[in-house]
Amino acid sequence: DTGVSQDPRHKITKRGQNVTFRCDPISEHNRLYWYRQTLGQGPEFLTYFQNEAQLEKSRLLSDRFSAERPKGSFSTLEIQRTEQGDSAMYLCASSLVRGSGNTEAFFGQGTRLTVV
C-alpha cells in the first residue's frame, strides 16, 4: 500500500458537463474525507465518511455535488452541471479512527479540475 490514491490527476471539462473523481484510501483506514483547494487558499472541508456512512457535509457541498462510499473502501465525488467556479484541486484524505480518537489524516495528490 502506497498511500491515498486519486484518479484522475487532471480533468478538463466543458461547463455543464458532469465529472466523477475516485479516491482509494489507505486500506485499513475507516475514515475518508474530501476537501477542495482553490488557488492561493488552504483546503476547505467538503464531506467525510465513516466506513460507508456519510457523516458530515459542509455547506460548500451544493446540490450539484454528491459523494459516495458504497462499500466503505473507495469513494467517488461527482459534480453535475459543472460551473467555472468548480475549478479547483479536489483532495481526498483518509485516517484510522480508534476509540481513543483520530489523529493523522493522510492526503492524496489530488485531482485538478479545470472547467472551461
Partner 1 sequence: GEDVEQSLFLSVREGDSSVINCTYTDSSSTYLYWYKQEPGAGLQLLTYIFSNMDMKQDQRLTVLLNKKDKHLSLRIADTQTGDSAIYFCAESSLSGYSTLTFGKGTMLLVSP
Is residue 51 close enough to count as binding partner 1 by CB under 8 A? Answer: no
DSSP codes, the chain: --S-EEE-SEEEE-TT--EEEEEE--TT--EEEEEEE-TTS--EEEEEEETTEEEEE-TTS-TTEEEE-TTSS-EEEEESS--GGG-EEEEEEEE--BTTB----EE---EEEEE-
Nearer to partner 1, 91 or 113 (CB): 91
CA distance 6 to 94: 12
Q: Which stretch binds partner 1 (CB under 8 A): 13-21, 60-68, 77-85, 93-101?
A: 93-101
Out of 1, 7, 56, 78, the residue judged to bind partner 1 by CB under 8 A: 56
User: Which of 31, 72, 74, 87 touches partner 1 by CB under 8 A?
Assistant: 31
In the bound state with partner 1, the residue whose beta carbon lies nearer, of 57 and 80, is 57
Closer by beta carbon to partner 1, 93 or else 113: 93
Contact positions vs partner 1 (CB under 8 A): 4, 31, 33, 35, 40-45, 48, 56, 91, 93, 95, 97, 101-110
